[in-house]
Amino acid sequence: MTITTVSNEQLAKEYVDGVFEQLKQQNSHQAEFLQAAEEIFISLVPVFVQHPEYIKANILSRIIEPDRIISFRVAWQDDNNQVQVNRGYRVQYSNVMGPYKGGLRFHPSVNESIIKFLGFEQIFKNALTGQPIGGGKGGSNFDPKGKSNSEIMRFCQAFMTELYRHIGPDVDVPAGDIGVGAREVGYLWGQYKRLTHASESGVLTGKTPGYGGSLARKEATGYGTVYFVNEMLKDANDSFEGKTVVVSGSGNVSTYAIEKAQAYGAKVVACSDSSGYVYDPDGLDLEAIKEIKEVKGDRISTYVNYRPDATYTEGCTGIWTIPCDIALPCATQNEINGESARTLISNGVKAIGEGANMPSDLEAINEFLDAGVLFGPAKAANAGGVAVSALEMAQDSSRVFWSFEKVDAKLHQIMKDIYADSKAAAEKYGYPGNLVVGANIAGFVKVADGMLAEGVY
Ligand code: NDP
């Protein structure tokens, strides 16, 4: 008789591979979702080696399946009295750590795969913040570009007319994301109030300050990304001072990442929108960008009218050919592929901070890690937005609102803690310096322990 012993490592690997195989079969058309799951699954193998109880409780198969997916029709009338129909989503992924929490994205690319990838990532990001919030995400394939203010309002009202029955301050708390800012959140909240006859301000975050919103929420994701990168740099005896920085996008996250990087003494030389990018070798004029994007709602190409020495180039990926010390992708998923990563590395990039969700594909991440570039993964680096959303919920519940400085100081501390926890988890599980593994594990372990405590359901 031969006795074969299977090592914990082999068991862990077989378990993770088995769950991923099944996931691929069940979601074969959901590329973004599978990509996000694969990135997390790979890094969890060392956890299952040390925690066979998670395998016994089949935590991975349970956590990858959302609590529920809500998909609904949004019918609304445009300014020409034509009836338009869009699809709305809310994925309530996990409420182990607190009410489902995650933004709403309005963009034509939105589909179930994208909302699931965002919702799954959100579980671990939210756990990392140390705040009592679960994971969820939602949105619609509605395209806000070119729509009038009245059309946006009517769409938001129609969207909330279905969504309201699924959310609540202790149930599910949506917020903004791409295409959803304070204006949209205001319209959504107004409709929620009319439908529920209740002024539950904690049901949505990202509201206007002075109207139930938190100061520093608008700045939180961008500032938080820079705070996180600053921690990575400090550990490497470095800083933002005098560094050349490239930031993609020119929306909410990008604008405030630029602002904080500049405040830390960096020269930010480029930013973009979905049509192209601007390069300003003397350093971007942030006031001009705010006027173009926040006041006029215009294209970034018009930046050259403000700064004659700046250049505009059509197309987005070229932005990564600009030599820089620090790159902050703050636009959208998969904006840095392996080739762009190699270009950034050969141009001497020292640090990457992911302000957007999943902006680097798996090949790019591996290139950065192999080259020893400091890499701040989205889950950790952009968690500042949802962290301040949780602080907004706390303020709404207590009816007491805090100063900008107080919220910003709390945000700063949360980002430092996320960095420390991710770094410690990476070391504990045998991957020192790898914050991708560290952030995934630090977030996962908290949720897995909560699931064990709650039993099987
Ligand atoms: P916004 O809608 O405010 O801005 C998005 C920006 O990215 C716009 O300038 C947009 O240009 C640009 N963009 C879109 N696609 C591309 C592309 N392919 N190449 C270059 N630029 C592009 O969104 P946010 O700033 O809120 O969100 C940006 C990212 O950050 C998303 O991944 C989001 O999920 C993530 N995030 C946001 C948080 C938040 O608090 N807002 C929190 C955590 C993560 P255009 O105007 O042409 O569309």
Q: How many helices (H) and strands (E) does the chain have?
A: 16, 12
Does pLDDT of 368 surpass 70?
yes
Same-domain status, 236 and 292: yes
- Ligand 1 contacts CB of residue 248 (under 6 A): yes
Please tell me the distance between residue 19's alpha carbon and the centre of ligand 1 in angstroms.
32
Per-residue pLDDT reduced to its tens digit, 124-177 = 999 999 999 999 999 999 999 999 999 999 999 999 999 999 999 999 999 999
How far apart CA 351 and CA 235 sit, in angstroms, is 12
What stretches of 146-305 show up as alpha helix (H) in DSSP? 149-163, 182-196, 217-235, 252-263, 286-290
At 456 the pLDDT is: 83
Sign of the torsion formed by the C-alpha atoms of 251, 103, 115 and 360? positive
Q: Does a structural domain hold residue 280?
A: yes
Same-domain status, 241 and 330: yes
Does pLDDT of 2 surpass 60?
no
Q: Is 404 helix (H, G, I), strand (E, B) or coil?
A: helix
Please tell me the distance between residue 418's alpha carbon and the centre of ligand 1 in angstroms.
22
Nearest to 159 by CA among 82, 75, 93, 69: 75
At 126 the pLDDT is: 98
Tokens 């992708």: give the residue.
Answer: 329
Q: Is 177 helix (H, G, I), strand (E, B) or coil?
A: strand
Per-residue pLDDT reduced to its tens digit, 210-237 = 989 999 999 999 999 999 999 999 999 9
CB 397 within 8 A of CB 389: no
Flag whether the pTM goes above 0.85. yes
At 5 the pLDDT is: 63
At 196 the pLDDT is: 97
Please tell me the distance between residue 253's alpha carbon and the centre of ligand 1 in angstroms.
7
Same-domain status, 47 and 78: no
How far apart CA 416 and CA 340 sit, in angstroms, is 29
DSSP conformational letter for 86: E
Same-domain status, 260 and 285: yes
Please tell me the distance between residue 105's alpha carbon and the centre of ligand 1 in angstroms.
10
At 3 the pLDDT is: 55
CATH code for the domain in which residue 336 is found: 3.40.50.720
At 6 the pLDDT is: 72
What total of structural domains would you count in the chain?
3
Nearest to 448 by CA among 52, 171, 100, 113: 52
Same-domain status, 80 and 195: yes
H or E element that contains 73: strand 68-77
Same-domain status, 163 and 291: no
CB 261 within 8 A of CB 413: no
Of 64, 79, 102, which marks where a domain is finished?
64
Q: Provide mean pLDDT across the span 372-384.
A: 98
Of 167, 199, 231, which marks where a domain is finished?
199
The structure tokens listed for 296 are 């006029």
CATH code for the domain in which residue 118 is found: 3.40.50.10860
Tokens 């770094």: give the residue.
Answer: 423
How far apart CA 274 and CA 235 sit, in angstroms, is 34
Span of 5-14, 239-248, 310-319, 323-332 with lowest mean pLDDT: 5-14
Q: Which of 221, 256, 316 to mutate to test the pocket of ligand 1 (most atoms within 8 A of CB)?
A: 221
Does pLDDT of 73 surpass 90?
yes
Residue positions annotated with a catalytic role: 137
Q: Does a structural domain hold residue 17?
A: yes
- Ligand 1 contacts CB of residue 255 (under 6 A): no
User: Bridge-partner residues for 141, per DSSP?
Assistant: none
CB 387 within 8 A of CB 414: yes
Per-residue pLDDT reduced to its tens digit, 397-423 = 999 999 999 999 999 999 999 999 999
How far apart CA 353 and CA 173 sit, in angstroms, is 26
Q: Does a structural domain hold residue 403?
A: no
Nearest CA to ligand 1 atom 44: 356
How far apart CA 63 and CA 41 sit, in angstroms, is 11
The structure tokens listed for 212 are 């139930």
Nearest CA to ligand 1 atom 8: 251
- Identify the domain containing residue 189 by its residue range: 68-199
Nearest CA to ligand 1 atom 5: 251
CB 244 within 8 A of CB 269: yes
Nearest CA to ligand 1 atom 19: 274
Same-domain status, 107 and 193: yes
pLDDT band for position 4 (50/70/90)?
low
Same-domain status, 228 and 374: yes
Per-residue pLDDT reduced to its tens digit, 78-119 = 999 999 999 999 999 999 999 999 999 999 999 999 999 999
